[in-house]
Amino acid sequence: MTTPPDMLRIAVAQLNPVVGDIAGNLEMARKARAEAARHGADLVLFTELFIAGYPPEDLVMKPAFVAACEKAADELVADTADGGPGIVVGLPLKRVSGVHNAVIVADGGKAIGERYKLDLPNYGEFDEKRVFQPGPDMPGPVAFRGVRLGVPICEDLWGDLGVCETLAESGAEILLVPNGSPYYRGKVDVRQQVVIRQVIESGLPIIYANQLGGQDELVFDGASFAIQADRSLGFQMSQFEETVSISTWKRSRDAAGARNGESDHWVCDRGPMSIIPQKEEADYRACMLGLRDYVNKNGFRNVVIGLSGGIDSAICAALAVDALGEERLRAIMMPYRYTSKESLADAEACARALGCRYDIVPIAEPVEGFSHALTQLFEGTKEGVTEENLQSRARGTILMAVSNKFGSMVVTTGNKSEMSVGYATLYGDMNGGFNPIKDLYKMQVYALARWRNGNVPPGALGPSGEVIPKNIIDKAPSAELRENQTDQDSLPPYPVLDDILECLVENEMGVDEIVARGHDRDTVHRVEHLLYIAEYKRRQAAPGVKITRKNFGRDRRYPITNRFRDRG
């Protein structure tokens, strides 16, 4: 009888796969396995649906896609015949019971186990019940080199079906959990609390491997970690950074921390201990990673931004330079008669601080051309929002022309406060391919700008020092579409607006509850009304990075046609 090992080296491959790039993801997995082998790893744990990229959404409904994933996995399984590390790798698998969100455990050139996700999430950004079938049975452990490994998949850990406890009762010694858990503010703490709860219920140490990288609106932040059987932190990998990290696990004969007093349990003896960024740094790095991956994964050479001299376009320009480099950003100032000299100076100062190309394209001629063309149709009417929107749409047209001519993606710059209440112009300032601050409220934008002026995030390509001029941060925000205009001519002060919106959007609070926080009832009713009637605009907005618990689009699906109002 073979003696069970007393040590196991487990590598966690916290990598950035691309959805649908099956060949590229396979090559990435091979390189990660080779790196793990050089460090003496026994096993490499990849993240959820790694071969496919996560989330693959309706690609799973294409038989050719699933077959290609299975073929790539077969090749990776065959690689393990070299005597190097075994693997735990995620992919969609078609079996008699349907297509499953699955993992294959392989060693010695053979698949030694398959496990299927039992608890399919169907909330927020997840809709896996649409494309996958749940595993038909509760999973049992897989024997790997004398160690019984439990492999619950993502929601099997988060949900309440008892998967982890069942694995413990059926003999698992360590739980290895592949995940595709997207970022939102404070998510690392949420994950650790979920894992601690499962450690308490199962009595087993848990390794939580999380994907990295931007995929459309989602950003996967990595931050993989392990919690020991005694609930202490076994290791902590970095956030927002690709890495293959080795942890060393030793079998302990001490009863302390073991389930039900059993003397045989595993302890993490060695592993990384990275510091997790907090608040503004984490949000900024999520926006930066989301923008970088959207641009690069979709094949854009560079980006263009309308730089107005305001805070939103300035923070987006800083994010673009940090994500892509100064040579890949083109900033264009498009002044009109209402553009102040202050804004012109601020925009130029911002571009100089960032080192990017800066052009000025006046819009008087196209705006007045539109006005002239509409003279007969608009005869007898007063000037107002329509004429203001012509300015915005002229700017949007110019940016799209630059995009078409030079292959640049337009970065659109509206924040969540504006998008919530419709303070944006369709086919104008909403034009663009991606919005890195779409899920940041206005006051959060200011907080990130202040943070960036004092810090350079890891991996950023931009300069240090003040990259967003102080005057941009200090001055009253304005769209500058009419004389002496400020945002607060049309909207409540942003601290008030943001708090009301967070109550309505993130927390689904009723009017009476919001008023009880000290807000004026008429203002709350007005903001709620603006929120509902702007839904049609948001449906046509560019995608953007998810930062809050509930972003517009994946997380909040309200009807456009909607007469409900809270009459509280």
Q: Determine which one of 69, 125, 128, 154 is catalytic.
A: 154
Q: Is 117 a catalytic site residue? A: yes
**DSSP state, 540?**
T
List the beta bridge partners of residue 218. Answer: 215
Number of alpha carbons in the 13 Å side-chain half-sphere of residue 42: 15
219/222 Cα distance (integer angstroms): 9
**Distance separating alpha carbons of residues 444 and 446, to the nearest angstrom:** 5
Is the Cα torsion angle 34, 36, 40, 42 positive or negative in sign? negative
To the query of whether residue 287 is one of the catalytic residues in this protein, the response is no
Quote the pTM value. Answer: 0.93
Q: For the chain, 568 residues long, give each residue's pLDDT as a single digit of tens.
A: 567 788 999 999 999 999 999 999 999 999 999 999 999 999 999 999 999 999 999 999 999 999 999 999 999 999 999 999 999 999 999 998 899 999 999 999 999 999 999 988 888 778 888 988 999 888 899 999 999 999 999 988 998 888 999 999 999 999 999 999 999 999 999 999 999 999 999 999 999 999 999 999 999 999 999 999 999 999 999 999 999 999 999 998 654 444 444 457 899 999 999 999 989 999 999 999 999 999 999 999 999 999 999 999 999 999 999 999 999 999 999 999 888 899 899 999 999 999 999 999 999 999 999 999 999 999 889 988 888 889 999 999 999 999 999 999 999 999 999 999 998 899 998 999 999 999 999 999 999 999 999 999 999 999 999 999 999 999 877 665 666 666 666 788 999 999 999 999 999 999 999 999 999 999 999 999 999 999 999 999 999 999 998 888 878 888 888 888 888 7
Domains recognised in the chain with CATH numbers: 8-274 (3.60.110.10), 280-490 (3.40.50.620)
Alpha-helical (H) ranges within 111-230 are 155-158, 163-169, 187-202
Rounded to 10 degrees, the C-alpha dihedral 148/154/156/160 comes to 130
Q: Burial of 455 by CB count in 10 Å (0-12 exposed, 13-18 middle, 19+ buried)?
A: middle
Q: Is 502 a catalytic residue?
A: no
Cα separation, 536 vs 489, in Å, equals 23
